[in-house]
Amino acid sequence: MDTATAEPARGLAHKGAKKAEKLRRIQYALNYRVRQIDDLKGLSRLTKRDKPFPARLRVRETVP
């Protein structure tokens, strides 16, 4: 494979990875915030193990 074609592809892949990581960080922050709000209301039944997925489903309801 020619390096001229390999370089841009690798660059794009890395950019995608960076975007994915950024989105993961944002999502985690949202989940964490939802959990804090739920804890204040006494509604949080989430454990560390299952936190990321149920919280993600409820982000739209809790975060304005």
Q: Are 37 and 62 in contact (CB under 8 A)?
A: yes
The structure tokens listed for 21 are 């990581």
The structure tokens listed for 42 are 């006494």
Average pLDDT of the residues in 5-17: 63
Q: What total of structural domains would you count in the chain?
A: 1
Give yes or no for residue 36 having a pLDDT over 60: yes
Give the range of the structural domain holding residue 52, as residue numbers without chain letter. 21-64
Average pLDDT of the residues in 37-63: 54
Give yes or no for residue 52 having a pLDDT over 80: no
DSSP annotation of 48 reads: T
Residue 3 lies in a domain: no
Residue 53 lies in a domain: yes
Q: How far apart are CA 5 and CA 11, in angstroms?
A: 11
